[in-house]
Chain A
Amino acid sequence: MIRLNQELKELSLLFGPSGFEDRVKQAIKEKIEKCVREDSELYEDKAGNLIYHIKNEGKPRLMINAHMDEVSLMVTEITEKGQLYFGNVGGIDPIVLSSKRVISENGICGTILTKPVHLLSSEERDKVCPVSEMLIDIGARDKADCEKYVSIGDYFVFSADYMELGKDLICGKALDDRLGCAIMVRLIYELYESKKKTDYDLYFAFTGREEISYSTAFLATENIRPDYAIVIESKAVSDLPDVSDDKKVAILGDGVIVSFADRGAIYDRGLINHIMSLCDKKDIKYQVNKYVSGGNDSANIQKSIEGVKVSVLSAGSRYIHSQSNVISRSDFESIYKATYEVITNDRIN
């Protein structure tokens, strides 16, 4: 499990905005290409998804999916003073952007400027600055100077440190959904090293552009044509003291979140029951989601081809889509274990 955590740290610190997941993909490829032998293959499909396939011809196809991209910013204008206007790529709450540090695809550091509190009128103090009025400052002198470092269309992502909170919580950027990528990488290692058999024709799909909905998971599904799909994701939770129990969604540390639906899809009940019974049997901690919210690739996958039976295993994340995704290490490990059991046990009937 130490390796699982190390994997997450490494992957989360990589640069991978929606539409430019290349560096994450390359890193994952380098990690898992040694796991290919005669009964398996690793390839990139035309849509740019990285697929690891354990061949089991004739058996029902199971696709495990996680997305490589993270929420990000794209430069839209360089001002005369050499500062950068940007748009958000993926849903970022403007309230978590002010004064955060960011880094560009070329490693240029910057920060999202704020007007000094001393100069704010009382109306301004109470007004959330819209993303369209925010500026990134990289220490450029003027437009010409700035253009030496940054071009329109460049991406920036959060550059916050990865840190531990107490003994169980992890705080970092892009844990959504590098946690899914890390789990899949470790599962691939484990299956390769243990030579453990699976009764599925099994696909691991590392996909892109989830954060902007027009996800390449849709195309991965079209190509693979799975019977079942399990999406490994993080889920926004709000288990804070001042939030009423019905709005907490789930509790960090109480195990993998099993949901019945989100705002985009109703999950397959048979698949969910199968996963829960395996968790019960193997003593894996899980909790049932108590609030229908959010969405992820499950909707895209479900609607592909003639329809796919889909389910989502998620780790609760506080402050999702900010520089500070906070997740529980034990929840993260529970997802790994639950997915491993699904893969290596008897097939769903």
Chain B
Amino acid sequence: MEKIKERLKSLCALGTVSGHERLIDVLTGEEKAFLDKIEYDKIGSLLLVKKSNKPNAKKILIDAHIDIVGFMVTEVLEGGFLRFVNIGGLDTRVLPSTHVCVFGKEKINGVITSTPPHLRVGGVKVPKIEELLIDTGIPTDELKELVSIGDIAMYKPYFTELQNNYVCAVGLDDKSCACAILDFITSVDKGELEYDVYASLSAQEETGKCGPARLAFDIDPDIAITTDVNFASGEGIKERESIECEKGASVDISSLTNRSLTRNIIKLLKDKGIEFQLVCEPSYTGTNNDALSISGKGIRTALMSIPLKAMHSPSEIVNLKDIKSLSRMLKAVCCAKELL
């Protein structure tokens, strides 16, 4: 669990706001030597390949998106303030007084503004994003040198350990799954693999879900497993829309996932006695799975999820055991003989 925690912590420190995922270095030299290929595609996705020893092995693509929601600077104002727009879906209710860092020529600390109660007309309201600013404390002339329109910003990264292996951090959507993939691919023995494994840490899921689709055309895998976070159950969230923390990752059933592949995965996990949950998303899944299901020459897709609390907030919460669970499920799948 310690290894997963440290890996997750370093992933969460990366400023990979959608469109700015390039040049992420997520592996140690030793781990790199353990892989067959590491490359970035034109959009910014990172592809890691580990081939099976079996001749003519079929190909499996495993996807987690590495991008996170964030902000883009639209104007540098007097007094050291920046106007911004959101990148990806944000809840403006969490923004006032939140710490951010702005990626200008150098990394700059900032705080999102909030209006004090005595200056508000008509009681407390949810601010519109265009009413909020980033306060940098830097004199405007200097700020104009450092920050340009189009520069990005993110919630200031931090990593807090809660009780029972829960952690609270920025960007656990979907770095939790990226962490599970890296845990699996850097530890699995080639001799065990039934498939050539193509792992994609994909770009721009939060903004267009375009990351793995192009890869899928190049690789033309037989199977694609998308891994993403799903809503953890909790106050005000329907049981049927959510999965429970600490009960393992889930296999998601949807009309956009392949029926026979999903059934085979469920049977495999049951036979092997691996803990998992089931959740149903009847039509769209809102993940890269949907794009992958119409990519390549026709790929059989499946979806697995890790439960996450407070999705897209600066304080997302995940349980490390659920990450380990997904890593185990991925291993079971990639080492299974009869999935197709």
Contact = CB atoms under 8 A, between A and B. Distances in A.
B150 interface: no
Given A119-B241, A141-B246, A318 B135 contact: yes
Interface stretch (A67-75, A198-206, A221-229, A241-249): A241-249
Give the one of B133, B136, B235 with max A CB within 10 A: B235
Nearest to B312: A117
A307 interface: no
A139 interface: yes
B119 interface: yes
A324 interface: yes
Contacts, number: 206
Interface stretch (B1-9, B76-84, B191-199): B76-84
Nearest to B101: A163
Contact of A171 (B111, B309, B317): B111
A165 B97 contact: no
Interface string B123-140: 011110001010111110
Interface in A241-277: 241-243, 247
Interface in B36-90: 77-81, 89-90
B250 to A, nearest CB: 16
Contacts of B142: 166
B231 A119 contact: yes
Interface in A138-187: 138-141, 145, 149, 159-161, 163-169, 171
B138 A166 contact: yes
A290 B22 CA distance: 49
Contacts of A137: 162, 166, 309-310, 317
Given A139-B163, A140-B163, A324 B79 contact: no
B109 interface: yes
B166 A139 contact: yes
Nearest to B130: A242
Contacts of B237: 115-116, 119
Chain A interface extent, by class: 35 or more
Contact of A238 (B115, B136, B315): B115
Contacts of B241: 119
Contact of B109 (A91, A116, A164, A240): A164
Contacts of A120: 91
B116 A166 contact: no
Given A116-B310, A323-B97, A165 B135 contact: yes
Interface stretch (A19-27, A127-135, A332-340): A127-135
A319 B96 contact: yes
Contacts of A57: none
B272 to A, nearest CB: 26
Contacts of B236: 115
Contacts of A236: 116, 118
A118 interface: yes
Contacts of A100: 97-98, 315
Q: Is the interface of A mostly helix, strand, loop or mixed?
A: loop
A165 B124 contact: no
B160 A81 contact: no
A88 interface: no
A119 B168 CA distance: 20
B310 A99 contact: yes
A108 B163 contact: yes
Interface string A95-121: 110111100000011111111111110
Interface residues of B, number: 64
A95 B79 CA distance: 24
Contacts of A164: 109, 137
A57 to B, nearest CB: 43
B280 to A, nearest CB: 16
Given A140-B164, A141-B246, A165-B136, A93 B124 contact: yes
A99 B96 contact: no
A324 B99 contact: yes
Contacts of A324: 97-99, 111
A168 to B, nearest CB: 7
B114 interface: yes
A137 B109 CA distance: 27
A318 B113 CA distance: 8
Contacts of B164: 139-141, 145
Interface string A30-64: 00000000000000000000000000000000000
B119 A166 contact: no
A18 to B, nearest CB: 18
A163 B109 contact: yes
A160 B118 CA distance: 24
Contacts of B115: 238, 240, 243
A111 B138 contact: no
B29 interface: no
Given A96-B96, A114-B93, A129-B93, A166 B136 contact: yes
A320 interface: yes
B121 to A, nearest CB: 10
Contact of A93 (B79, B114, B161): B114
A247 B131 CA distance: 16
B138 A165 contact: yes
Contacts of A135: 235
B15 interface: no
Contacts of B166: 137, 139
A170 to B, nearest CB: 8
A114 B126 CA distance: 14
A99 B313 contact: yes
Nearest to B117: A93
A96 B111 contact: no
A250 to B, nearest CB: 12
Contacts of A79: 235
Interface of A: 79, 81, 83, 91, 93-96, 98-101, 108-120, 125-129, 135, 137-141, 145, 149, 159-161, 163-169, 171, 236-243, 247, 293-294, 318-320, 322-324, 326
Q: Closest 5 A-B residue pairs measured CB to CB?
A: A165-B137, A139-B162, A139-B166, A166-B137, A169-B137
19 contacts: A101-B160, A111-B168, A114-B93, A116-B231, A117-B312, A125-B91, A125-B93, A126-B125, A135-B235, A137-B310, A138-B163, A139-B166, A139-B319, A165-B109, A165-B135, A166-B136, A241-B78, A319-B114, A326-B137
